[in-house]
Each structure stands twice: as structure tokens, then as C-alpha cells.
Structure 1
Amino acid sequence: DHAALPPSPHARALVEVQNGCDHSCTFCIIPAGRGPGRSLPAGGVVERITALVAAGHREVVLTGVDLTSYGADLPGVPTLGHLVERILRLVPDLARLRLSSIDPAEVDDRLFALLAHEPRVMPHLHLSMQAGDDLILKRMKRRHSRAQAVSLVERLRDVRPDLAVGADLIAGFPTESEAAFENGRALIEECDIVHAHIFPFSPREGTPAARMPQVDPLLVRERAAILRDTAARVRRNWLAGLVGSVLSVLVERPGDTGQAENFAEVRFAARREPGTLISARITAAADDHLIGDIE
């Protein structure tokens, strides 16, 4: 029963709306461990979020193993876009809705429009890219091309310039050549990926990728370090570009830090109650966060 959750000291809540996966990426063991894709009916999601908002949460993050496949197993086959629309309509007091990692191949027109134009959907897109080279993407059995991922980011930024992009990227996937690696590194710069999660490839027993010709482990670690360095530089430049702007920040514990809509961390001197939404003028940028004055 979600009707009467106790008051929460946390500003943000995670709501899992989907679990499992019906795809067969060659490096992944999730389908074997989590089973097929399963979605929580929209009514249960809305009930849960309504209770969380009543308990004091200002932001909800929708999560799932394969979030953008939401609804494929439900009657009527509603999409993630349908779910987001329903949440925004039926929970008007929810200030912020954020999406966790989504698949570039599954962003339909409805979801695109919400990401592009809906102010309560945060301008923060985390993409499950995994690689930036078409041959490697094919060997991973991913369902998008490099050009499709780049195009999605460009089209969204055309209509929502403040969009901050994150991505998962694997370094040293089996058979990765220097040229393929460079395509992945360049993707970080082309898409201005400011929230990067870099993983050195590690074979999982029983997966097709574990049987492919492996890249030397030392080279895998070296390539992962290069990707992290590139991502850190792109992030520093992005943060520096935000100095002088005014951002809406959701205060989190202990009260002198928070997250902007674009998921940049903002720190400030004066404490505010966690869960408060403030306006902060950004006065400085560090390597991994911003410093601001409350307006």
C-alpha cells in the first residue's frame, strides 16, 4: 500500500517500472539472470509516484533494465512515452521527472516530443550507447548505428539546447581496432557527452563476446583511461560554460548541495532544507561540480 508513506529526507526517488530484457547483446548476461522484459502497469506506477510526492519527494527517476521497452508486455502495448504522459497528467504536484538509461533505438516520436518540449521532464538524457563504431556495435548486437545515436542527440539539442547527455561506453570490446576505438573516443566529443560511464570490457562466462578474439587486458585498461580522460575534459568544458548562468537546483542532503535540471552537481554556502527547489547563479566551476549563490 503506497497511500501513506512516511515523510522522506530524500529529495529524489527511484521508481522501477521495468525489469528483464528481451534482447541478446553479445556481452550481457542480464537476460539469463533477470528473465524476459516485464513492465509495471501504469496504474501502479502512478499510485507509487503519488505516494512518493505526498511523502516529500520532488523528483522521481524512472528506472528499468531496458526502460525504453516499457509496455511491450502489457495489454494495448503502451510505450514509455504514454507512461510519462500519464504520470505528468495524473501527478500534477510532481516537480521533476527524470529518465534513467535509455536505448537510442527505442526513442519514438512521443518520447522524443516529451524530452524536447516538456519542462517537467529533465533535460538530461543518458543513452545506452556502449560503442561508437558501427562494426563493434554490430558485433555487440546493438540495434542502433553510430549515425542514429549522433542524430538523436543533434535533433534533441536543436529544440532543447540545454540538454545534457550521458552515455555508457565499453572500452576494449573483442576485436576492437585502433580505428574502432578512436571512433568511440570521438563520439564523446561529437555528442558532448558530459555524464559518461566508462567500462573496461570484461568477458562474462557463457556470453558470445567471451568467445570472440579478446583485446589484451593491458590495452583494454589503457583505452578505458583514455576514454575517461576525454570524458573528463568534455565535462570540465561543459561545467565552465555554465558559469554565469542561473540554474534551478533541487537541494539534497545535507542541505548545501543539489542537482540542477541537467544533473550537474551544484554546491552553495547557505544551507537549505533538502527537497527545496532554489535558483542558483553559478559563480565557479570545479572539475566535477559547480559553485553557486542562491538567488
Structure 2
Amino acid sequence: MVRKAFLGLISIAALLVIVGYLGQFHRGADTVAIGRPVFGMICILGIFVARSLTLRFAFGTIALLAISTVAVSFLPQKSGGDIRVYSKNLWFGNKEYSAVVADIEAANVDVVMLQEVSVHNNPSLQQLKAKFPHQHVCRFSRWSGIALASRLPFDGDPICSDSRAVLAAPILLKGQRVWVASAHIPWPWPHDSSENEKDAISLLSELDGPVILAGDFNIVPWSGRVGRIAALTGTQLAGPARATLHLRNIPLPIDMVLAPGGGSLEMRPLLGSDHAGLVADLVLWPK
């Protein structure tokens, strides 16, 4: 009886691993994918609990698939030397924005991507103006602005998605036009975010040339959402993934940076926000 109960639990975990790969059909599957590391570990138990060799093989295969696709996000990468960026969800109520500005300046980056730029923390952009004079903000509400600030000049007009999702601006880097984008896409499900993700895809599909994308994706790196965006933009995740948000003590790596050749990440302090910042040294032109 106990064995059957365990097998039932393990079978449910295995099913949830599989469901987590179906995000292209329903965004609820991307939410299920958050639990993939846990479900994969539960499937390992099936190797020891199941009596049938077929079941043991099935559970072992699903466990390997789950754990390997999660683990790859946490592998370190070599630093890229093409561009250095800073990304952070400021948190709309953050009044310690001067500390964030000091951290940005100390990081010696080329481009800054900010999310939840609100009426409370909006002065941070003015404080950055001297060193990052090329700026643009997409204002979706009093609390949900997305911003980008750059040392490098814009090479055209920045654009905003129709709903809260992405801001993209072309910059001139080493004589070439490169798109840098700040992202803040809501939770995939049960949050009603289908239009936000569609708007992100619509904007990103119009960008010509190399793309750098950083921000708060509100989903884990191994999700279908991130995979679809990476495939669309011809980018890969910089690594290793970092747990930038702790939701009820659960570490979640939902802030990330993507570039054509990936790159290395380091995490910055919270500084009045619920999200840690990220600094990434990226590869734009892989050899």
C-alpha cells in the first residue's frame, strides 16, 4: 500500500516534468516548469521504488531530462568583452535609488536596464544622466515603467511594446548597430499575461542585427518562455543563473541576461529592492 502511494506520487511528479515542456501550448505549463528541479529529484526515487525495469527506466530518463535541463542554466561561462551591462528590477516602492545609482556607477557598465521605474524611484534616471546620457523610458503606469540608459549613443529611435513587456533601443557599438532591450514580462499563469508575451515577441521579431536582452522575465531560465525568446532573438543565456528573488524563502532565478554568445553574470545587492541586480560581461560576436 505504501509502495503504491509512493509510486502514485512519483508518477505525478514525472507527469509534471513532461507538462512543464509544453509552454508553447499553454502558459500554465511554464509555471509548472518552475518546479522541475523538485519533480526531477522525486523521479529519482522511482528508480528504487518501482519493481518493473520499464518503470525504473522511465523514471530515470525523466529525472535525467529534468535535472540536466535545469543544471545547464547554472553552469559558469567565460566573460565576454564586447559589452558590459547592468540590469535590475528596482521595485516600484524603492526609495534607496541613490544607492542603486552608486552601485551602477561602481560597476563600470556600458548600458543599464531597469524595471519597475515608478514615481518613487524615477529620480534615479536623472542621477544617471551625467554618465548615461542616452535614455529612454516606456511608461505603462505610475509604477511599471521600463527604462534603458546608455553611455553609448542611440543609433535610431527606441521603441516600446504595446503592453508592459519590452523596451528596445539601437546603440552604436564598435561601428555596428546593436539592439539593447530591457524586459519586464508578467508571470505567465495564472496571471493574465498572454498579451504581454505576444507583444514582447512582436517587438523582438522586428529587431534586425545583434540583440542583448536583460530584465525580469518572471519565469525560470529553463522555461519555454525563455527558450522561445532566445530562439527568436538568436541569443543564449549568460551564466550562471542567479536566484535574484526570494519569494516566501523560495529562491527564484527570474532575472536574466541574454546575448548572441552568452557571457558571465555576477549578482549585485538588493539595495532597497526585492530583486538583486545583475552585471553581465557579454559576447556579441561569437567566433
Bigger relative CO (Cα 8 Å, ≥ 6 apart): 2
TM-score by length of 1: 0.30
